[in-house]
Structure 1
C-alpha cells in the first residue's frame, strides 16, 4: 500500500499537470485506512477516513489532501472567475465603506465603531459626553470625516497587519473609564487572549491572559478583573479567575470551577452595576451566582440548578427580574424576587405564561421593562409600565425581524430597537416611551438599492405530519409564479435558534438575476415557541429534515420555483441539515451549499474531548446510550452516504474551526466521492487560516460568498 504522504504527493502532482479546464479536472482520491469506531455498548462502525483527523493540524498527508482539494476547487472554479468577480464587485459596491455604528452612551462616554474606505477592520472609538453631543451629532460628525475629540481605543486594522486571521472578540472599559481590556484571536479558534492598556497614560501592561472565552468584567476598584479560562483540550469554558492588572497571571486565583462539562459559562455585571454575575447554562438547565461588584469575595447562588429549570436574571431597583420556564412555563414567564432572595418561593409573576407567546429576552429601565417575545413566528417588543396597559411596537410588513438594540443605561425613557426584513435594511429606532415620539437613528446604508423593487411575503407549507411550517420569501417585483424560476432555500433548525427574516446585501444579487430566496422556519428553531424546538431535537430530529424537504415541495408545487432549479444552503448545524436532505431527497435539489457542516454526528458525539460534545447531549442525545446511538446513526450524513446521484455541492470549512472540526467535512467529501453516481461537481474548499466563521475582515467573507454563489448560479443555469 502506498504511504499516505506518497499518495497525497501523487494527488498534488496529478492536479498540477492536469488540464486547467473544469471539465478535465480530476478530483482527489483520498487513501482509505481501516479504522473501527467503537461505542461503549459494543456497536462498531468502519471509518476509512478517520485518519484525516489531526488535532494538531500538522500531519503532512492530511494537509496535502486538503491542499489537493483546494487545487481541484481552483480548477473547477476557474471558468467562473468572471462571474465570481462580478458578484463580489456588486456586493462590495452596495457597502458604504466609511460607515459607522450608532454611538451608545455609557458612564459619560459615547462608544462606537467606524470603518475607513478600503479597510477590512473597524476602529473602536469613543467621545466624551457634553453639550450638543449625542448619537445623531456624532454620526453626522463621522459622516463629515470630523473626528475631533475622538479617542481611538482599538484600531483593528493596525492590530491585524501582517496576520492571516485576526479578530477582536470583545473589549471592556473599567468603571472609572480609564482602563481598557480587549481580547483577540489570531487563528479563528475562538481562544482569546486578553491584554490591558491604561487609557489615561497610554501605558500597555505586559501580562497576557491566554486561553480565555473572551468574557471579562471589571470590579469596582478598576484594577481587578474576572475572566473565564477555557479547558486547553476540550476548549470548554471551565473556570472563573480573578486577576489584578499589573501582576503575574500565574498568581491568578480561581473563584469558581465548573465540574460538569455539559455546562457553558459566562460572566457579566447586572443592569444596575451592583453585582458581578457568573452564569452557567446547559441545554436544559441554568444557574446564576452573584457577588457585590464593590467587594466580590463570595458568590451567592440565586437559584440552584435543576434539570429542566432554565432562567436568566438581571437586577435593578432592589429586585431580581427573572425570565424562567419554572412551574411548567414552557414558553417562559417573567417573575421578580427581592434582592436578598435565594429561594424560588419568593418568585412572583410579572408576566404569566402564555402557550401562544414565547418570551425570549428583557431589558430593565427605571420606569419600565422592555420585553422581547415572539408569536406565530414573528418577533415583537412589548413595553411594560406600572399601572398602564402593555404596549407593542408596531411593524409594517408581513415578514420581519424586530428586537431590542443596545440600551446601555437604565435611567432613560428612551428605548432603542432594531427592525429589518428581507427587503428592509437593518434599521434602529429610538422610541420615547413617555411621549411616543420615535426617532430614526440609523438605517443600514445600501448603495444603489431601492426596496420598492422587491416584495416579501409569508407563506405556510404543510408538513407530512400536518404541521404548518412558516416560510419567509423575497423576490424582485414583477416575478411571476409560473414554475420556471431558480430558488435558494435556507434554514438552520437546531439549538432553538430562530432564523428571522433580515436584510442581506448578498441576496440582492440573486434577486436581481430573477431568483427567489426562501427562509424556512423549520422545527428545531423556536420560531413557533418552545414546542417547535422540542419537536426538532433528540428523538424528534428527523422533523427538521423532513420539514425542509416539505417546504421545498410546497414552494415548487405553488410555482415559486422549477423543480430542477432549487438550491439549498446551510452552515454548521445547518450543514447537518444539508447533508441529511441530500441523502434523503437528492432529486429535490440541483445544488447544495454547505458551510462548516456538522456531518459526522455519531463519531463526534462519542468523543468527549471534542469541543461542544458534552454540552450537547441534550440537543442530539448521548450515543453511549443505544437508543440515541441508533437514532443518530439513522440520519448522520456521513454514515448514510450511499450509491445514488447527489446534487452538485460546494462544501466549505476552516482548518482551525473549534466548533465543527475540519475533518468532518473532509471525511464526508472523501466518502461522497466514492459513492456519488451523479454528474454534478463536488467542490471542497478549506480555508487554511480560518475557523468557524470563515476569514476575518469584512471584505474577505464576501469573496467567499461570491465564490459559492458563482458555483450555485452556474449549476442553476442563472444568467
Structure 2
C-alpha cells in the first residue's frame, strides 16, 4: 500500500526470466506449444466473509500463501510468468535495444558529491559494470585520499537480492553500523564494522528496521525490532556491542498499532528522537544520547489530529506543526518548556494557501521550503534579524529539496534541483551573500541536449470544477499538438505524497520515440497543499480517480495525445489508481501498467494481520465501520471488476513484497481474466526474488524499465 520513499517518476516494475511449467490441481492451463503459451485460468474456490449483512465471496483467496512455499500457488505464478514471456517474446529485441540505450546514457564511473558529517566527507562511487556503489570517506571536501568503508558489490555477491538499508558512523568515527536486507521484505540485519581494523564484529541484530542510531559512548546502538507477521516496528531496543541480542534492553514499545516508529538523532548529537507517526497524528519522544540508561520522554502528550516534528537548536526546539494551521507553521519552544503548547512561539506564520514543507537549521540561519500553487520555494532567514531571501528557479515545473545539511556551523545550504528537462543538479547557496555554486550536475551520455525537450505545466478543470495541475514533457521535434502523439500518463495520489516533476534518463527513450509524458498531480497528494490531500482520502478517495480520468480527457481534447494511443502507469497506491481507472473509464486507455498494485482494498483492510493494515485506517478508513466499508467497496478495483472490455494490461509484482502482498495483483488478474469481454492482452509478471521496489542493482532495474516501455511502445506501434 504505502509507497517507499522510493517510487520514481519513471516507475520501474519487476521482471523474472521464463518460469517453468508444472502441474497443479488448483491452476489449469491449456496445452503448451513451442510457439505460444495460453493464459492460465485459475480455479474458483469460494471463500466467504460475512460483514455488515453482506456475504463477500472471494473465489481466488486460495492464491494467498503467507509462507510463499505452496506448490500450487508457485506453479500458478510460474505459469503466469511463462504466459507473459510468451506474449512479450516478440518484444525481446526491443527490450534489449531499450536496455542498451538507457544504459549507454548512464555514466558508468560516477561519484556522488561528498557530504560532511563530523570531520569526514562521505561519498559513494560506482565503477564500470558494477551494480552497486562503494562507500568512501575523506578528510577533504574534494574526496582526496579516500578511505574505503563498504563495497556493496562484495556484500551483495552471495545474494539474488541485496538492499543496504542505511549506514550510521559512530560519533568517534571508528565504527560503522549498517543494515542489510537480502530477501526484499524490508526486514534488516544490523552489522557493525570496525573502521580501524576492517573487522566485522560478531554483533548481528536481526529482524529490524533499516535505520539505527548510535549513543555517544560509541558502544551502544538503538534500533527498532519488527513484528515478524505485521512487519510493524513497534519496539525500540538498546544494544551494547559484544552482548547477545537477547540481552538488549527494551527502551520503548508502541502499544497503538496505528503508529509507525522511527529513530533519528539531533544535528548537534545531543539527543535521540523516537518518532511516532500515523497518518493524522505525529509526535516525538526524546532521550539523551550521552546517558545509556536514559528513558525516553514524550515531548507532548499525543493528540488525535495533531502533527508535529522537531529540530533541536541550542536550548530550543523548532517545531513544524499543524496546530491551528492546516498547511503547517513553524514554532519554537524552550526544551524544558515544550510540553505545554502555551509556551510555543510562532517563527513562521501559517498561510492558508502556502504549505510549509520542510526546514533545516544552522547556527545563525533558518532555511525553509514552502509550496504555493504547486511550486516549491526555498527561503533563507537570518535568525538574528529575521532578514529573508528566496532562492529563485526558472523552469515551469521542477523538483527541489534540501539535502546533506548535517553541520550546524556551516555557512552554506546544500540543495538538489531537477526539472523534466534538467538533470539533477546539486548546488550550495552561501547563507550570507546568497551566491550559488554548482557542485555537480548529473551527466547524460550520448547526444542529449536539454534544449531539444520542452516541459509545460497546465491546469485541467475536473468534473467538480477543481483545477488539477499537470506536468508535461516531450521532444520538440517529434511533438505536434494535433492529437497524433502517443501519450503516457503517470499518477499516484495517496498519503499526501507529491510526485514532483524531476528528470529521468530512462524516460528519454519514450520521448525520443515521440511519446508525450504527463504527470497528473491529482488529489491525494499535497501538490496544492494539505487540503489537496484531505480531498483525496477516506470518503473523498474517488476524487483521486476522477481527477486522473478528467486529466486524460483534457489532454486528448487539447491535442497532447492520440486518443487511440493513450497509456497509463502507476504503482502501489498508484496501482489502486490504475485499477479504479480501468473500471471507470477503460475505453480511454490503449494500455495500462499497474505495478505492485494495491487493488484488494476490502479484504486487505479487514485483515489486521497483514503489514500496514492498521496504520492505513486514517488513509482509507476502517471497513469495520459500515460507512467506510460501503464507500471502499464502491471503488475497490478487485470488487468492482465487471463484465466489460478492459485495456491491454501489464501487471507486475514481487513474490516477497512487504507492502502490497503478491496475492493482491495475482487475484485481480485471475478475476479480470474471468470477467473481461475483450481480446486485449492481460499479463502478470511476478519477480520471484524481489519485493516492493523491484530488482536490486542499478543495471538490473533497467531491465524492468525496458520491459515496461517495450509494452507501451509495441502497443503504440500496433505490434502487440
2:374 maps to 1:363: no
Question: CA–CA distance in 2 between the matches of 1:441 and 1:503?
Answer: 18
- Deviation string 1:261-318 (CA, Å, 9 cap, x unpaired) is 0000001111211111111110011121111111141211111110000001010121
- Deviation string 1:57-116 (CA, Å, 9 cap, x unpaired) is 011100000000000011011111111111111111110011111101111111011101
* Aligned twin of 1:20: 35
- The 3-state SS of whatever aligns with 1:88 is helix
* Aligned twin of 2:442: 444
* Aligned twin of 1:400: 398
* Aligned twin of 2:109: 98
* Aligned twin of 2:80: 69
- The 3-state SS of whatever aligns with 1:225 is strand
Is the 1:8–1:64 Cα contact (8 Å) retained in structure 2? no
Question: CA–CA distance in 1 between the matches of 2:599 and 2:695?
Answer: 21
Q: How does 1:228-377 map to 2 (within 5 A)?
A: 228-296=224-292, 297-326=294-323, 328-341=324-337, 342-377=339-374
Q: How does 1:461-472 map to 2 (within 5 A)?
A: 461-472=460-471
Unaligned runs of 5+ in 2: 1-21
Question: CA–CA distance in 1 between the matches of 2:398 and 2:47?
Answer: 49
1:429 Cα deviation after fit:
0.7
Question: CA–CA distance in 2 between the matches of 1:108 and 1:455?
Answer: 43
1:388 Cα deviation after fit:
4.2
Is the 2:413–2:430 Cα contact (8 Å) retained in structure 1? yes
Question: CA–CA distance in 2 between the matches of 1:225 and 1:256?
Answer: 14
2:217 maps to 1:221: yes
1:339 Cα deviation after fit:
1.7
Unaligned runs of 5+ in 1: 142-148
1:680 Cα deviation after fit:
1.3
2:141 maps to 1:119: no
* Aligned twin of 1:145: none
* Aligned twin of 2:533: 533
Question: CA–CA distance in 2 between the matches of 1:299 and 1:619?
Answer: 28
2:537 maps to 1:515: no
2:44 maps to 1:36: no
Question: CA–CA distance in 1 between the matches of 2:178 and 2:100?
Answer: 33
Q: 1:340 to 1:308 in 2, by over 3 A?
A: same
1:717 Cα deviation after fit:
1.8
Question: CA–CA distance in 1 between the matches of 2:28 and 2:513?
Answer: 41
- The 3-state SS of whatever aligns with 1:532 is helix
Runs of 4+ in structure 1 deviating by more than 4 angstroms, as ranges, are none
- The 3-state SS of whatever aligns with 1:436 is coil
State which drifts further: 596-605 or 669-678.
Answer: 669-678
- The 3-state SS of whatever aligns with 1:582 is helix
Question: CA–CA distance in 1 between the matches of 2:503 and 2:67?
Answer: 39
1:5 Cα deviation after fit:
5.8
State which drifts further: 277-286 or 388-397.
Answer: 388-397
2:426 maps to 1:428: yes
Question: CA–CA distance in 1 between the matches of 2:411 and 2:136?
Answer: 26
Is the 2:116–2:404 Cα contact (8 Å) retained in structure 1? no
Question: CA–CA distance in 2 between the matches of 1:530 and 1:35?
Answer: 40
- Deviation string 1:355-401 (CA, Å, 9 cap, x unpaired) is 11101111010111111111101111111213143211110111111
* Aligned twin of 1:489: 489
Question: CA–CA distance in 2 between the matches of 1:42 and 1:191?
Answer: 39
Aligned length: 693
2:659 maps to 1:659: yes
* Aligned twin of 1:192: 188
1:214 Cα deviation after fit:
1.2
Is the 1:656–1:662 Cα contact (8 Å) retained in structure 2? yes
- The 3-state SS of whatever aligns with 1:657 is coil
1:42 Cα deviation after fit:
3.8
- The 3-state SS of whatever aligns with 2:191 is strand
State which drifts further: 414-423 or 383-392.
Answer: 383-392
Question: CA–CA distance in 1 between the matches of 2:192 and 2:403?
Answer: 28
Question: CA–CA distance in 2 between the matches of 1:9 and 1:98?
Answer: 47
1:44 Cα deviation after fit:
2.1
- Deviation string 1:624-663 (CA, Å, 9 cap, x unpaired) is 0000000000000000001111000010000000000000
| Partner of residue 82 from structure 1, selected from 93, 118, 133 | 93
Question: CA–CA distance in 2 between the matches of 1:521 and 1:322?
Answer: 28
* Aligned twin of 2:12: none
* Aligned twin of 1:207: 203
TM-score (norm 2): 0.95
Q: How does 1:173-192 map to 2 (within 5 A)?
A: 173-192=169-188
* Aligned twin of 1:144: none
Question: CA–CA distance in 2 between the matches of 1:380 and 1:435?
Answer: 18
Is the 1:513–1:718 Cα contact (8 Å) retained in structure 2? no
1:173 Cα deviation after fit:
0.6
Q: Which has the higher contact order (CA 8 A, sep 6+)?
A: 2
* Aligned twin of 2:11: none
Is the 1:5–1:60 Cα contact (8 Å) retained in structure 2? no
State which drifts further: 608-617 or 372-381.
Answer: 372-381
Question: CA–CA distance in 2 between the matches of 1:533 and 1:5?
Answer: 47
- Deviation string 1:639-696 (CA, Å, 9 cap, x unpaired) is 0001111000010000000000000000000000011112211110000000000011
| Partner of residue 6 from structure 1, selected from 16, 24, 46 | 24
1:207 Cα deviation after fit:
2.5
State which drifts further: 154-163 or 652-661.
Answer: 154-163
State which drifts further: 384-393 or 189-198.
Answer: 384-393
Is the 1:582–1:646 Cα contact (8 Å) retained in structure 2? yes
